[in-house]
Structure formats: structure tokens, C-alpha cells
Structure 1
Amino acid sequence: MIPFLLLLAAAGPLPDKGEPPLTARTQISGGPRPAEQTAVTFDHADLSFEVLPKHRRIRGDATLSFTARAPLTRLVIDLDRNLPVSAIAIDGAALPKSGWSNPEGQLTIALPRPLAAGDKVRARITYGGTPHVAVNAPWDDGIVWSATAEGKPWMATTTQGYGCDLLWPCLDFPAGEPASVDLHITVPAGLKAPSNGRLLGVETLPDGRTRWNWRARQPNTYAIALAVGPYDEIRGTYRSRYGNEIPLHYWHLPGKAAEARALFDEFAPTLDFFEQVIGPYPFADEKVGVVETPHMGMEHQTINAYGNGYAKAPEGFDWLFQHEFSHEWFANQMTAANWDDYWLHEGFAQYMQPLYGQWREGEARYAVMMEAQRNRITNAAPVVRDKLLTEEEVYEPAKGGAAGDIYFKGAWTLHTLRWLIGDEAFFRATRRLVYGRVDPKPGNFAPRFASTREFQEIVKEEAGRDLGWFFDAYLRRAALPELVEMRKGDVLRLEWRTGGAFPMPVEVKIGDRIEWVAMEGGRGAVTVPAEAHVVVDPMARVLRRSVAVEQFQAWQAKARR
């Protein structure tokens, strides 16, 4: 075995963006999985990282504990081959190098003995190398190596799209979460390593390096994150409306104390909004954590990445902080088990911004923020396809993905649903989706997996009627419903044109009064005086086709050429 330090000396030039290249296998997160991965329960991960900024390398030691659900003769674990394995031990016994292989980014380990259902196994994997450098994080994954204005190392990871295997040996699909994780992150002297969960302690090594020890429960596979820099820290405590106290932490770069304090001051009111409108903060026993990163941001559980440059906005709050924080409920507490249901993360998170604007300032702010999102809906592909999909198949247009529509169309779908079924049913359904119950309190819920089909069933129960037609129209078909108006004499006839049944009611303003048109069978009529001024859907309750928006988007696209 070649000593790791000798490998560093022979490493050659530092990697640039996009280097070293990834295999097609490593770029896949989610989708159909090998039978060996779905045949295990991931009990625990003990992950040790050493970050070497000078060489842009990491070394890792991962002990992974599993319980077999079915007979197994091998383990199949995802790990980028740019992080070659130097040793593996199964239940403490070292394997010969012939006992594993990783040609394309899926590490196959032959077990010394077959496992029966219910048997436990512990695999210790020692690895290290040059991790892939992100081209444009967080939209393109990997490590971002940077430096502060004073020239000190500053780095962060992001792995949502390509997956956790860019950083550690894992099961790279949403339902592959370990039940708990211990993290040990060793960094050069003078640097800090805030990470997921609760801080167990910081050790100072004889040469001045420090080891940061963290413990997290059931983090998303892509939520395990490294962030290293010469951080200053702001701390506080939030007294929850549920009676518990929640630690607040913000790690920021030196020299930005005033801006950092202003952002930190947003933590408490944002937390109060979510706890009042949605329910208890899911990780109150760990922390609310945010860290400044050299990329835009990501919902890393209890250590959300923030890189918005302390931008100001007319709504009076930092959209990036608010969006990533909302993922503690919609992605980390409630996780889509299949990337096909990705909109449950992003659509809800996107909707939380105008909802927060409404909570803070009222209806005018809500309407302005919803209108801005409406103009970004493209309707190029269905949001949900009812298939087992990879993250890129859901997000990338070139692979049939809905791209930004999982955000903006998702948010508008929720806006229309809320009006259709009313606030009480909508928020009861949302709480059941997030917590699995309508009465969440600290200690009576745990992170859970969810799906569009489950949410649809919850809505049916809370609304007291089947709304399959609603979910089909907005999520499973690309084109929006089109409302056709036909006015003749003193009658206004309305007709929905869609690819299926769509009995969506509509409000019609006739002069100074508003009438409700039921639209049974997708058609309806209302009597209007010949001289009356009529506005259909005057409060923009219903997501529907808009020729004006389509023309605006076409004009924008042409202007950008």
C-alpha cells in the first residue's frame, strides 16, 4: 500500500472545475437500484474526513452498519472512483484487495459469509483522493475550493444532483438514508468545520489541526456536507411556541459582522412563521444551523449553506435563507422517497416565500410574489410522471425533466389547491404530509418519506372529496388548463379545455359583486347584464393558461438572444 502522503507528493497539478471527470454511473442519483441496496436497512454511518485544501484532496474512513432484509452475498455501495479505496474490513476482518471492485463508481464488496434476513454487518471502508470540483455549484455538484479575501482556505460541498457518492460511500437514492450519522472532520489549524446535527466536541491535535465531531439523526443522503473556513460564529437560543428551546448558530466569514448579524436576526421570525403555520421545527434537539459558503446555497440538514451575499429585496427578507430553511420541513423532515416526487421539496419550499410575505405584510405582498412566480412557469414537461426516476431525469430538460416548474408550477398548484379546499383542510393536509399526523409536537414525530400519491390521498381525506382530476391536470400533464369565455347577450358561458376532466370552480366579478361558478363537468354559465364589466378569476385563484404570459416569455427569450 502506498502511503497517502506519498500519493499527495505525486498528485500533480490541482484540479480545475469539472475535474476529475465523473463516470455516467456516478452522475446518477436515485432511479432503479441494485437489489442488494434495497435489501438492506442502513442503520448507522460513522464518517471520518480529513480535508486537505492545499492539495484539494480528502481522505476518508467510513464505517457503515446495515441489517439485511433478505439473503445477501455482497454489498453494493455507491462511491465515486475518483476516491479510490485502499482498505475494507467486514466486521473487523480485513478483506483482500480481490474482495472488492469499483470500475464505474459502484463499489461491490464480496461478503466473507452470506447474510440471512435479519443479520447485521459492518463495513469499514478507507478511501481518499481528489474529489470532483463543481463547475457551477449548487446546480452542478462537487467540491468548491475557494479562499477568503485574506487568502485563507474556504471550501464547501454540494451533492444533491449527482449524489452523496461524490463525498462518501453511501446508498445514493433518497430512501437510502442512514438512521444516524457520526461525523469526524479534521481540518488545518485555524479553520472550523461546522456540519450536520449536534456538536459533540472539538479536539485539538498535537500539530494544531482540529477534529470536529458531530452527530445527526436520519439526514438526507445528499445533506451530509462539509464546509471549512476561518469562520466567526453567532449563537443564540430561540424559545419555541411549543415550549422547547432551540439553539441557533450562524458561521460566517470574518469581516462581515454587521451583515451576518442582520441575517441572524431573521432566524427567529422565520422560525416563528414556520412553527405557527406548519408546525414544530423538526430538529430542535440538534440546532438551527447556517454556514456561509462559496456557492449559492443548499438545504443541508441543520447546516444550510448560504451564499447570497446578504442581498436585499423589497419583501424585506433574504429569499435564499428562507428557501433553504423551509427545506428543514420540506426535504429533511419530509423526504420524497422517489425523485419523481421532487416537487414536494421544491414546490412547497417555493410556496413558503409568498406565504411568509403574506404572514408578514398581508395580501398585497402575497399577490406580488405569486405573480412573479407565475411568469416563470414554462409547462414544457409534466412535473410528475409516476415512474422511478433519477434526479437529473426530473430536473434536466434534456432528460425530460420539468426544471423550474417543480418550483414555480409546484407553488402555484399549492396556491390553487389552498383556495379550492380552504385553509383548514390545506394546512391539515400539509401537516400530515410533513409529520405524518395533524397534531405534531416536539418528540411525537420523526423524519419520514412521502410521495405525491400519498399527498393526494391525504388531500382527499381532508377535503372530503376525490381531487385526482386536480393532481392529474397540474402535475401529470404539461399543458395548463385553458378557460374559454363565450359571452352572448346576458349570459357568460365558461368552458375548461384540458386533457381530461376538470371541474374547477371559478369566481367571476360582475360590476362590484363576485359570483361563484361551479363548473360541473368543466362547464358553467352566469347571467351578466349586457353593460356590466366582467372579470373572470379576479383574484388569480386558479392556475390556468395565459396567452399574455406565453407572449411575455417568448419576448424575453428573443431579447436574450
Structure 2
Amino acid sequence: MSRSRVLVSTLALALAAASAQAADLSPLTKETGLPRTPEQLAVVFEHADLGFKVIPEQRRIEGDAKLTFKATAPLSALVVDLDPEYAVSRVEVDGKAIGADAWQNPEGRMRVTLPKPLQAGGSVVLRVIYAGQPHVAKRAPWDGGFVWATAPTGEPWVASAIQGEGCDLLWPCIDHPQGEPLLVDEHVTVPAPLVAPGNGVFVGMKERNGWRTYHWRAKNPDTYAIAIDVGPYEQLSGSYKSRFGNTIPLAYWYLKGDKDAQAKDLFAELPRMLDFFESQIGPYPFGDEKVGVVQTPHLGMEHQTINAYGNDYKKDKYGYDWLMQHEFSHEWFGNQLTNADWDDMWLHEGFGSYMQPLYLQYLRGDMEYHAALLDQRAALSNKYPIVSGKPQTEESVYNREHGPGLDIYYKGSLMLHTLRSLIGDEAFFTSIRLAVYGSAHPWPGHFKPRYVSTKDYIDIVNKVTGKDYGWFFDVYLYRAALPELVAQRDATGLSLQWKTPDNLPFPVPVDVRIGSNSGETVTVPMANGQGHVDLQENALYTLDPQSKLLREEPRFAAAVKDAAERKAAAEKAEKDAKK
């Protein structure tokens, strides 16, 4: 691209930003995961054939969506979700246009009256042609939408990140975790010579009149994991020979520049990460498609088989790219295992966050495993339960002021650490495989993506162990406060008692080390939440010497309070400086 073209493109983007700020989202579009309508509950979403023309200079897209539904009950109408800021120019049912009086989309829940009722078992194709300026992300990926950026070399660099707001920011969909299409064909048209990596398998690319159309095909993608990524990308390619016998394609699309060596280093990490997940959890779920990563102008998101990566090749204090590893974990916990409702989001983020300490244990042993867990422990707030027991939206779960927020990550992770200690590695990892694959012995090609609820996982743990662990999850998931271990010396030794919210039962055994580091360790059964250890009068003791138990500890509460006060002071100082 010439210097003059770069300047013109940059100016056009700046003018577009100044004159066409995205409108506020409608209440329906702003939320994702609202209860589905009866019409949405009565269909199987068989196929989404999605066409997107991305016009960077106008910050505009033109969409053409053909959606195939199979009815499970008689239907007189179809309902899909689509941002009402888009202008809809044509709606078709089974290839025939319908009048404007047959469809409405006032608030973002588009209702289409069918020309004739559809019987159970029948199929229908809904086509929606639309265009407009998609919602611009204010702070992707947390406050999501489209990101219109410029690559260091001057070309347009575009990405979507819509987990928090939902698929209706991009295409007419069923904006709910259980709204996944069985198959998606994605056709992304971009100005040549830009590149558009996508979900699933690359089918082909056609170039005509200065435009390139990239065709991608994916099976069972999460609704928010269908992504648009456009840029002047270079591609690194390779393959991975799985321990399960299959060969998995690897690809990384990155911006060529002064960090080519770091890009190659990141790509070189993928085989090791794959070996970790396949050895600890099971087969990579999308081995017949690819492991894909794309560099993005936002921090990252777990887009299925095309993980968004924007961490600028930073390694954390443990010497690896934790964000890349975390987002990659969502191929198992998010894209293969999908939460049945946003209330079950800890299944994505809790398991996904536990994978970082577990990865360090795999790489280097127990010391860094426990150090990473300690980092997570210091971040807990314990203000709201991480599971409410009723349907939730994404906003209600991730909002730390009115919901669990980061606790779905770190409290979920630490609870899993305690569960692993309680039931043992064999039962623990078997429960994970059953949740992720529906099989204790998964094999490539013999499983499909699954919807899983919190109740489903509890039932799996109970089945694997042959015991009822509902009490364990009642305390950790459905209550905000952590259990507290109360220890009191008396004339005969040490009395222990679990103090729990609402006095719930919590018979978790407690290890007590008597004496120095080389002293005897006894396990106190804690039947009925109580136990006793015989101790000599002046004997030293250590509770939970191997740090197995997630419990209330005043030192962490003080650390969290101190961090909050420091943050508030820094924010106030920043505001004062701007006055």
C-alpha cells in the first residue's frame, strides 16, 4: 500500500469515527442470554449461511444471512435477534420475499410471520439482508462490539468481540448459549489484499474487482464465538501429531513487523499447550478443523478455532503467556462444553482459570502450581454466589458490583482445587472428561459439543464418586461467603469446627500437622463439621499444611480491602489531576 493510500485510509477512518459514533444499544440488544421465546424454543437451528462485506473506510458491514430451522412443534412465526440499528432491506422465507407488514424488529427481537404455518418436523429457510454501522466497542473485549483499528503498516485492522453483548451485534441469531447452529458457513468479503481468517475449515477464497471473499465452515460454534477478523496478516502454519493418533492443523495469523520472532515463539508454544490439554483433559475438540489464533486489536477472546490474541507477546512472572493459555482452554471449557445458561458461566471461567495453575504443575511441579493458586486467592471478593440457581444474563454474572464478577474465574478455580484434593485425581479428572465429552474415554470423532449445567456437573461428580457431594457445591457455589475453619485449644487438644453460611453441612476433612515440618500429619474426618485432635499442651500445629482447602482467612480479606482502597485512591488522584 502506498503512503498516499495509507493517509487517505487513516483520514477516512478518523472522519467516520467523528461523524458516526455507534448509537446506544436497545435494552434487548444490550443483554445476551435473555429467556428464549416460545418460537425460539421450538426450533433446531440447523444451518447458518452468513455473508459479511466489511467496508473499513465507512466502518460499515453489509450482511446476508440464510438461516435454516427445523420445527419441533407447529409454528406460525420465527423469532431471531438482530440489532435494530441495522437497516433491513429484504426478508425472504424459502426464497420468496415477504412484505414489510410480515416482519417487525422494533427493539432487536425480530419477528417474522410465516406465509403458512410450519408443522413439527418441517424445515424453513429465513433470509435477512441488512446493512449498517455495527456497534463500536468502547473497551473490547469487556465492552464489546466492533474494533476498527489501523495496523502499524497503515492498513485497516478490524475485529469483532461480542461475548458481553451477543451475536445479534453481528448477525440475526438466537442470542442465547443454547442458540448454536449445527453448521455455519461464513463468507467474509474484504478489500484486497486484506486477509480474513475465520472459524473452522478454510473452504476457499475468490477475488474479484478489488475484493476478496473468504469462505469458512464450522460445526456447532458458540453464538458469540463466530468472529470477524480482518487485517494485513501473515500466516504461520504447521501441524501437531496428537497422542490420539490424529494430525491437527495449526495456524497463526499475525501482523508482520518488528515482532516476527515473538510471533514465531508464540506459535511454537501451541504444541506444548496441546499436549498438556490432551494429556490432562482429553482430545482437542476440533481436530478435524484446526487450532487457529489471530492477532487482534483487543486483548483476546475464545472464538472457536480462531482464538483472538492481543496480549502483545507478554509473558507473566511465571515465564509463559498465561492469556494465550487461558483463551485456548476455552476450546474445551466454552466451545466443546458450553454453559446451558449464563448462570453456569463458572463452568467456562472456573475450569478455564484452573488450567493455568495446572499447566504450571505440568511444566514445573507443585511450587508454581501453589504460587499461581495463591495469586488467585488474593483476588476473591466473595460478595455474591457464583451460581444463583436461576436464569441469568451475561451482564448480571460479570458485573462485579451486582454479581459474582471475577469470582466465577478464581473462586471457581480454587473450588476445583479443593474438590480435587477431596475426591482424588482419578475421580476428579474423570468427572471433567464426562462433563466435557460425555465419556470417560473420549476419542477424536466420537463426541460432539455439549450443553452442561451446574446441576449436570454435580450429578457427574456424585456418579463418579458414588457419594452425594451436593453439600460441597451448596457452600462453594450457591453461597457467597467462604466456609471458616474455627480452631480452639482446650485441655485435651485442638477442637475444630466448620462455620458455614446458613449453618450448612460441610464435612470436609482437615489435615493437621503436629510439630515442625517433619512432624506427623493427621487427617481429622470432621463428621457433622466438627473434629478433635489430641495435642500436648504446648505442641505446635499447622492447619491444612498442603493448602488443600478454600476457606475464609482474615489475611486475604485485609489484602483485598487494601487493594480496593489503593485502586480508589489512584482513580481519585487521576480525576483530580484532570480538573
* TM-score bucket (shorter structure): over 0.9
Mapped contact 2:354–2:416 kept (Cα < 8 A): yes
Counterparts of 1:97-108 in structure 2 under 5 Å?
Answer: 97-108=100-111
CA offsets, 1:31-71, max 9 Å, x none? 32211111111000000000000000000000000011111
Q: Counterpart amino acid of 2:520?
A: R
The alpha-carbon distance between structure 1 residues 380 and 458, as it changes in their structure 2 partners (threshold 3 A), is: same
Which residue of the other structure, out of 544, 547, 555, is the alignment partner of 1:540? 547
- Compute the displacement of 1:490 (Å): 3.9
Which residue is equivalent to 1:195?
198
Which residue of the other structure, out of 207, 217, 220, is the alignment partner of 1:218? 220
- Compute the displacement of 1:531 (Å): 2.4
Mapped contact 2:341–2:392 kept (Cα < 8 A): yes
The alpha-carbon distance between structure 1 residues 53 and 438, as it changes in their structure 2 partners (threshold 3 A), is: same
Question: Does 2:558 correspond to 1:555?
Answer: no
Counterparts of 2:511 and 2:19, CA distance in 1? 56
Which residue is equivalent to 1:523?
530
Counterparts of 1:405-416 in structure 2 under 5 Å?
Answer: 405-416=407-418
Counterparts of 1:169-318 in structure 2 under 5 Å?
Answer: 169-205=172-208, 207-255=209-257, 256-318=259-321
Counterparts of 1:260 and 1:291, CA distance in 2? 11
The alpha-carbon distance between structure 1 residues 95 and 465, as it changes in their structure 2 partners (threshold 3 A), is: same
- Compute the displacement of 1:158 (Å): 0.7
Q: Percent sequence identity over matched residues?
A: 52
- Compute the displacement of 1:314 (Å): 2.7
Which residue is equivalent to 1:3?
none
Mapped contact 1:220–1:301 kept (Cα < 8 A): yes
Which residue is equivalent to 2:8?
none
Mapped contact 2:16–2:57 kept (Cα < 8 A): no
Counterparts of 2:217 and 2:86, CA distance in 1? 24
Question: Does 2:143 correspond to 1:136?
Answer: no
Which residue of the other structure, out of 322, 328, 331, is the alignment partner of 2:334? 331
Counterparts of 1:157-172 in structure 2 under 5 Å?
Answer: 157-172=160-175
- Compute the displacement of 1:545 (Å): 0.3
Which residue is equivalent to 2:33?
30
Which residue of the other structure, out of 509, 515, 525, is the alignment partner of 1:505? 509
Which residue is equivalent to 1:118?
121
The number of equivalent residue pairs is 550
CA offsets, 1:363-393, max 9 Å, x none? 0010100000000011010000111111111
Mapped contact 1:15–1:56 kept (Cα < 8 A): no
Mapped contact 2:299–2:310 kept (Cα < 8 A): yes
Mapped contact 1:14–1:55 kept (Cα < 8 A): no
Counterparts of 2:400 and 2:274, CA distance in 1? 34
Counterparts of 1:35 and 1:158, CA distance in 2? 28
Partner of 2:381, secondary structure, is coil
Counterparts of 2:122 and 2:50, CA distance in 1? 22
Counterparts of 2:472 and 2:277, CA distance in 1? 26
Mapped contact 1:292–1:306 kept (Cα < 8 A): yes
Which residue is equivalent to 1:89?
92
Which residue is equivalent to 2:364?
361
The alpha-carbon distance between structure 1 residues 524 and 317, as it changes in their structure 2 partners (threshold 3 A), is: same
Partner of 2:178, secondary structure, is helix
Counterparts of 2:565 and 2:339, CA distance in 1? 36
Which residue of the other structure, out of 471, 474, 491, is the alignment partner of 1:472? 474
Partner of 2:27, secondary structure, is coil
Q: Counterpart amino acid of 1:556?
A: A
Which residue of the other structure, out of 396, 420, 423, is the alignment partner of 1:421? 423
Which residue is equivalent to 1:461?
463
Counterparts of 1:241 and 1:530, CA distance in 2? 56
Which residue of the other structure, out of 370, 376, 384, is the alignment partner of 2:379? 376
Mapped contact 2:91–2:126 kept (Cα < 8 A): yes
Which residue is equivalent to 2:494?
492
User: TM-score w.r.t. structure 1 length?
Assistant: 0.96
Q: Counterpart amino acid of 1:366?
A: Y
Mapped contact 2:400–2:406 kept (Cα < 8 A): no
- Compute the displacement of 1:18 (Å): 6.7
Question: Does 2:160 correspond to 1:153?
Answer: no
Partner of 1:266, secondary structure, is helix
Counterparts of 2:24 and 2:17, CA distance in 1? 14
Mapped contact 1:20–1:131 kept (Cα < 8 A): no
Which residue of the other structure, out of 386, 390, 396, is the alignment partner of 2:393? 390
Partner of 1:479, secondary structure, is coil
Q: Counterpart amino acid of 2:530?
A: R
Which residue is equivalent to 2:573?
none
- Compute the displacement of 1:208 (Å): 2.3
Instruction: Calculate the aligned-residue CA RMSD, in Å.
Output: 1.4
- Compute the displacement of 1:13 (Å): 4.2
Q: Counterpart amino acid of 2:334?
A: A
- Compute the displacement of 1:14 (Å): 3.2
- Compute the displacement of 1:552 (Å): 1.1
Mapped contact 2:157–2:231 kept (Cα < 8 A): yes
